[in-house]
């Protein structure tokens, strides 16, 4: 009983068990969706290998002194930026984006590593002192820390990862206590940029809406004018970026507006994914029996569309289980972050929460047709070595903080 | 203020709210997709990946009444192209190998470009074996080109049957629109004759093989290991009433002539032989029809595609005297002993010639000698309306309703017919020539044969038909089709008198004594239909054996002269080959050959 208590005290089972289950479900589905595909013959074995590696990395990180994370935050951030630059020069092009570094047999995505580095660095900066975060200088520095990697990732160009960065930076600032006005200032360029892509009308409406909100929150004409000018710039910049986006990314954005317009083209994945999920029914078609999955209707289903395989073969029971596991995991991280009184560690955990939550939101959302197809893996479940590794590292950090929580509460 | 805002409970609550909302929305959406709308997605999913491949069944074959195989299926090679894999630079090579004009392959591909790229397109059927071996040798250099084995019709008995059997060809867009539920574009469908009339029996039931296809429509396996596949069911094997020997003899005898032969079994209405000459080669229509062949056949002045047996309308000439005699006797306007005097002709307004001076003749001898004078007199006693009424009973002036093909109705004029043309006071002299089967009367060879069959069987027969039924392959029994009976009101004694006249035509001192046979008694009537455009048409109707008729026949040969000379010998040969083939011992077969030879000598 005593041993039991110790283990419970050292390891947060509300974190670890959902992760283990999600990884297991992922392995089963990767096995099923790659079994009949000659292009992905060894993917299950590769993933298994990474699970083992991840386990040891988890153990190491779990038992590191907790202040290590703060110490390494700046060096790892610099290192991450260097890797992001490197990938632009010698990176390997995979489906239109130069985002992979060759590392022996396995590829490696620097943007995955940069996620952790950026979370740590930004958390470190935001928790540096109790400075008023609403000061322009601090906000600009914080945004710079966050958006330098985003700019480099956009150059690859990797839309999905950029969106992830945008949201976790936002949530970190939110957690730090950024006022509503400043949140509007930070969010609005993104919203305006998106509206610009949708068309001139949407762009103008969004700008008018922004003006109204600004004047409701703040009477300072100069401030509001500056923010408006910034947004105007963001809109035109987005239009420019849209035009330099790779064709497959442009097509993905377009097909979201009307997926059925081109059922064999870019809307294809979206329709086939929904058919796979919907046809699963309550109990699913059974392991290795989903025809959508087994007949490869969805290209590379073991990566971003792994949730289709689960939903098709294990039905509503399977898909709802995944949703519940994420709810438990994310809720627990949120609770731990809330309970941690050390600002750096609390922010770090919220950053991790944000990254996992946005992945979860975008990945499942796109598979069930609620948001556009954006190439984002489902954490722990999707096939992908560096993705799994990074996700486990983040969980290890959360777990490490839990282990030493009594020192900070 | 910062301190308050950092990780405030409010902000935690917002994040929890967002998280729970997202999870809730996902759950509702998943419930909606997987539970409520599952069926919709399931159908889409099934349609996606399961492809039904049609299995075209073997077409039913044709047996004759003796179960000799007349029409069967033989394998033929078809070259096809799958456009998705095909390299159009091969067009020229294929044109050359297939003996096509340059651009033909490209044209065929263009015509079919509306269909899926992954569905093979048939380029040429019936390619010869050299081309098949060329394909095999060069398989690696011919992406998207291959061949399949399909069935085409063969005619093993040596019977042409061009108008009888008909042929199959690719379904026309119009017919496809009407029968979409069974056919697919490119399906072959009976186009003529029995192939058309019995299409629904012959085509069988298509089977379906369900295969799994991947997202590129490539076949990757059987669906549920083939457990839900439906085997195709072979079409029914038809048993024709046709007698292969009689048909073959009739075809051979009609070679080089224009005209028709129709033979019917009197007691059943079963057609024993049906020939329209000239014929055409069904093999030329069977799957591979060259343009040259079509040009030739469409421009042939003899119009081989025209089915003379059921479509050509000619005056029946003296063969019609049999009907006139039947009508007059049955009406009672004459009896067996009524005598008319023939002094070489008949005067009614003007003089109508007879071909001889027969003196006092009764009905039997009038038939035997084909005395015109007697029948000139008779027609005025009968009257046109009575003639028409009886004619209809015997199947004239209307379609017989034969089970195959198109058919002409013909014409037997009644009084109203002439009133319409000439008014109330139409010249009654017109009637005289109707008595001897000339003038406006027109009949088809089929009608003549049918009439003869009814007469031979004393007024009772069945609707003429060429198909008896089909062979039940599991039991070997013939399942017969039903055909309606025909009954005339004419009394049996009347038939006896008229048939005696017909007997004497051949066996007395009549117009066809040269076809007398030792084996059996033939009864008949010759006819010569006047033709204002050229030589007269020769006709003969008859039946045999006289005592117990087993075959009734009508022969029409166009533009050759007297019926007795040109039509009767053909009738005799067909009758012989039908009646003698039944004796199947070798000895009898030899005799059959001998008789055939003797027959030819007589004809000469």
> What string of pLDDT tens digits covers the 409 residues of chain A?
455 567 777 889 999 999 999 999 999 999 988 876 766 778 898 899 999 999 999 999 999 998 899 999 999 999 999 999 988 888 776 655 677 776 655 667 888 889 999 999 999 998 886 656 667 788 888 889 998 999 888 887 777 888 889 889 989 988 888 887 888 888 888 788 878 877 788 888 888 888 888 888 877 888 888 888 888 888 888 788 777 766 666 666 665 544 444 444 556 677 788 888 888 888 888 887 777 777 666 767 888 889 988 998 899 999 999 999 999 999 999 999 998 888 899 999 999 999 999 999 999 998 888 887 777 899 999 998 888 999 999 999 999 999 888 876 5
Give me B34's structure tokens: 């997987």
| B319: nearest Cα among B575, B553, B574 | B553
Flag if B19 and A277 touch (Cβ within 8 Å).
no
Give me B283's structure tokens: 């093999």
Flag if B7 and A331 touch (Cβ within 8 Å).
no
Q: A14 exposed, middle or buried (CB, 10 Å; 0-12, 13-18, 19+)?
A: middle
Q: B594 exposed, middle or buried (CB, 10 Å; 0-12, 13-18, 19+)?
A: exposed
Longest dimension (CA), chain B: 145
* Residues of chain B found within 8 Å of residue A370, distances taken between Cβ atoms: 25-26, 29
Flag if B7 and A337 touch (Cβ within 8 Å).
yes
Give me B371's structure tokens: 């005395």
CA dist., res. B449 & res. B464, Å (int): 9
End-to-end CA distance of chain B: 132
Q: How many helices (H) and strands (E) does chain A have?
A: 16, 3
- Tell me if chain A has a CB within 8 Å of the CB of B10: no
Handedness of CA B337, B342, B345, B347 (dihedral sign): negative
- Name the strand (E) or helix (H) holding B2: helix B2-5
pLDDT, residue A408, reads 64
Flag if A326 and B50 touch (Cβ within 8 Å).
no
Tell me if B145 sits within 8 A of B94, measured CB to CB: yes
Residues 111-170, chain A: which have Cβ within 8 Å of B?
130-134
Q: Across-strand partners of A75?
A: none
- Tell me if chain A has a CB within 8 Å of the CB of B16: yes
ipTM comes to: 0.88
Cβ atoms < 10 Å from Cβ of B142: 20
- Return the residue in B10, B34, B39 with the most chain A beta carbons within 10 A, the one to mutate for interface testing: B34
Flag if B19 and A357 touch (Cβ within 8 Å).
yes
* Residues of chain A found within 8 Å of residue B4, distances taken between Cβ atoms: 177
Give me B170's structure tokens: 């690719």
Q: B332 exposed, middle or buried (CB, 10 Å; 0-12, 13-18, 19+)?
A: exposed
Which among B8, B22, B34 is the nearest to A277, CB-wise?
B34
Q: What angle do CA B76, B79, B85 make, to 5 degrees?
A: 150
pLDDT, residue A213, reads 86
Tell me if A109 sits within 8 A of A386, measured CB to CB: yes
CA dist., res. B184 & res. B175, Å (int): 10
Tell me if B318 sits within 8 A of B526, measured CB to CB: yes
* Structure confidence by residue, pLDDT tens digits, B436-468: 999 899 999 999 999 999 999 999 999 999 999
pLDDT, residue A92, reads 72
Q: Between A110-126 and A159-176, two packed helices, what is the crossing angle to 10 degrees?
A: 20
Q: What domain count does chain A have?
A: 1
Domain that holds residue A259: 2-407
Instruction: Please list the ranges in chain B whose pLDDT falls under 50.
Output: 1-4, 582-604
The runs of H, that is alpha helices, within B153-281 are: 162-165, 173-178, 193-197, 199-202, 244-254
Flag if A316 and B19 touch (Cβ within 8 Å).
no
Q: A-B interface: how many C-beta pairs under 8 angstroms?
A: 136
Residues counted in chain A: 409
- Tell me if chain B has a CB within 8 Å of the CB of A288: no
Residues 475-534, chain B: which have Cβ within 8 Å of A?
none
* Residues of chain B found within 8 Å of residue A357, distances taken between Cβ atoms: 19, 22
Cβ atoms < 10 Å from Cβ of A382: 25
Q: A155 exposed, middle or buried (CB, 10 Å; 0-12, 13-18, 19+)?
A: middle
pLDDT, residue A266, reads 53
- Tell me if chain A has a CB within 8 Å of the CB of B34: yes
- Tell me if chain B has a CB within 8 Å of the CB of A180: no
CA dist., res. A195 & res. A238, Å (int): 9
* Structure confidence by residue, pLDDT tens digits, B575-596: 999 998 744 333 444 444 444 4
Query: How many angstroms separate the Cα of A227 from the Cα of each of A17, A183, A184, A224, B180?
Result: 45, 12, 10, 5, 66
Flag if B12 and A334 touch (Cβ within 8 Å).
yes
- Tell me if chain A has a CB within 8 Å of the CB of B110: no
- Tell me if chain A has a CB within 8 Å of the CB of B40: yes
């Amino acid at each position: 009983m005593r041993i039991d208590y110790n283990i419970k005290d050292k390891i947060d089972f509300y974190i670890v068990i959902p992760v283990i289950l999600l990884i297991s479900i992922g392995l089963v589905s990767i096995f099923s969706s790659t079994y009949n595909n000659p292009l992905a013959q060894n993917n299950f074995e590769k993933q298994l290998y990474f699970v083992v590696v991840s386990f040891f990395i988890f153990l190491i990180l779990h038992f590191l002194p907790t202040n290590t994370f703060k110490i390494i935050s700046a060096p790892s951030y610099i290192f991450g930026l260097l890797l992001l630059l490197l990938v632009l020069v010698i990176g390997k092009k995979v489906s239109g984006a130069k985002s992979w570094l060759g590392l022996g047999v396995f590829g490696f995505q620097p943007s995955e590593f940069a996620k952790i580095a950026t979370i740590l660095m930004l958390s470190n900066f935001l928790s540096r002192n109790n400075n008023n975060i609403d000061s322009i200088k601090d906000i600009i520095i914080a945004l710079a820390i966050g958006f330098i990697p985003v700019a480099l990732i956009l150059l690859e160009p990797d839309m999905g990862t950029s969106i992830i960065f945008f949201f976790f930076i936002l949530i970190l600032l939110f957690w730090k206590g950024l006022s509503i006005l400043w949140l509007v200032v930070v969010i609005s360029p993104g919203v305006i940029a998106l509206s610009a892509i949708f068309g001139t009308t949407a762009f103008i409406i969004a700008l008018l809406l922004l003006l109204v909100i600004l004047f409701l929150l703040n009477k300072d004409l100069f401030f509001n004018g500056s923010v408006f000018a910034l947004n105007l710039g963001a809109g035109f910049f987005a239009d420019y970026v849209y035009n330099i986006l790779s064709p497959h990314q442009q097509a993905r954005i377009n097909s979201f507006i009307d997926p059925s317009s081109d059922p064999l083209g870019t809307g294809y994945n979206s329709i086939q994914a929904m058919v796979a999920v919907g046809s699963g029914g309550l109990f699913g078609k059974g392991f290795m029996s989903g025809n959508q999955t087994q007949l490869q209707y969805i290209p590379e289903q073991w990566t971003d569309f792994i949730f289709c395989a689960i939903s098709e073969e294990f039905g509503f029971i399977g898909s709802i289980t995944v949703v519940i596991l994420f709810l438990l995991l994310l809720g627990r991280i949120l609770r731990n972050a809330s309970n941690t009184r050390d600002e750096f560690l609390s922010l770090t955990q919220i950053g991790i929460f944000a990254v996992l939550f946005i992945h979860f939101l975008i990945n499942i959302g796109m598979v069930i047709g609620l948001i556009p197809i954006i190439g984002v893996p489902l954490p722990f479940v999707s096939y992908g070595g560096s993705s799994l590794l990074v996700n486990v590292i983040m969980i290890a950090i959360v777990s490490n903080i839990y282990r030493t929580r009594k020192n900070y509460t | 203020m910062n301190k308050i805002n950092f990780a405030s409970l409010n902000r935690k609550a917002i994040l929890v709210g967002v998280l729970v909302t997202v999870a809730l929305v996902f759950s509702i959406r998943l419930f909606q997709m997987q539970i409520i709308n599952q069926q919709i997605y399931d159908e889409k999913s099934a349609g996606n990946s399961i492809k039904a491949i049609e299995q075209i069944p073997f077409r039913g074959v044709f047996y004759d009444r003796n179960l000799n195989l007349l029409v069967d299926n033989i394998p033929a090679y078809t070259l096809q192209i799958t456009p998705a894999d095909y390299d159009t630079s091969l067009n020229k090579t294929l044109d050359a190998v297939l003996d096509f004009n340059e651009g033909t392959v490209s044209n065929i591909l263009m015509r079919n470009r509306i269909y899926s790229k992954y569905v093979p397109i048939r380029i040429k059927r019936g390619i010869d074996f050299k081309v098949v071996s060329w394909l095999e040798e060069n398989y690696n250099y011919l992406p998207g080109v291959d061949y399949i084995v399909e069935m085409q019709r063969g005619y093993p008995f040596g019977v042409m049957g061009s108008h009888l059997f008909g042929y199959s060809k690719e379904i026309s867009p119009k017919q496809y629109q009407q029968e979409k539920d069974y056919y697919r574009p490119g399906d072959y469908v009976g186009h003529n004759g029995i192939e058309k009339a019995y299409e629904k029996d012959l085509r069988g039931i298509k089977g379906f093989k369900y295969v799994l296809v991947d997202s590129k429509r490539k076949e990757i396996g059987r669906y549920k290991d083939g457990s839900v596949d439906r085997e195709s069911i072979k079409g029914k094997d038809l048993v024709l009433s046709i007698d292969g020997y009689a048909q073959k003899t009739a075809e051979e005898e009609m070679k080089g002539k224009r005209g028709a032969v129709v033979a019917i079994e009197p007691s059943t209405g079963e057609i024993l032989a049906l020939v329209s000459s000239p014929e055409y080669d069904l093999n030329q229509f069977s799957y591979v029809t060259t343009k040259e062949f079509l040009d030739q056949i469409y421009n042939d002045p003899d119009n081989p595609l025209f089915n003379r047996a059921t479509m050509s309308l000619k005056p029946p000439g003296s063969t019609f005297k049999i009907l006139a005699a039947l009508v007059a006797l049955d009406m009672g306007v004459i009896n067996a002993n009524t005598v008319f005097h023939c002094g070489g002709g008949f005067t009614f307004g003007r003089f109508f010639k007879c071909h001889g001076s027969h003196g006092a003749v009764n009905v039997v001898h009038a038939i035997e000698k084909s005395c015109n004078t007697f029948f000139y007199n008779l027609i005025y006693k009968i009257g046109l309306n009575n003639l028409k009424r009886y004619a209809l009973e015997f199947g004239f002036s209307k379609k017989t309703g034969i089970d195959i093909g198109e058919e002409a109705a013909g014409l037997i004029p009644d009084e109203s017919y002439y009133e319409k043309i000439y008014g109330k006071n139409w010249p009654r002299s017109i009637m005289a020539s109707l008595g001897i089967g000339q003038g406006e009367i027109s009949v088809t060879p089929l009608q003549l044969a049918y009439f003869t069959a009814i007469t031979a069987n004393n007024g009772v027969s069945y609707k003429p038909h060429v198909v008896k039924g089909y062979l039940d392959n599991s039991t070997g029994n013939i399942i017969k089709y039903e055909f309606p009976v025909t009954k005339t009101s004419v009394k049996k004694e009347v038939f006896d008198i008229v048939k005696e006249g017909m007997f004497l035509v051949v066996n007395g001192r009549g117009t066809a004594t040269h076809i007398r046979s030792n084996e059996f008694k033939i009864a008949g009537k010759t006819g010569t239909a006047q033709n204002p455009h050229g030589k007269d048409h020769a006709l003969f109707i008859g039946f045999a054996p006289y005592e117990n008729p087993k075959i009734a026949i009508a022969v029409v040969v166009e533009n050759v002269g007297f019926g007795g000379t040109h039509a009767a010998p053909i009738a005799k040969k067909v009758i012989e080959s039908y009646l003698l083939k039944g004796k199947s011992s070798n000895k009898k077969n030899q005799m059959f050959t001998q008789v055939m030879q003797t027959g030819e000598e007589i004809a000469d």
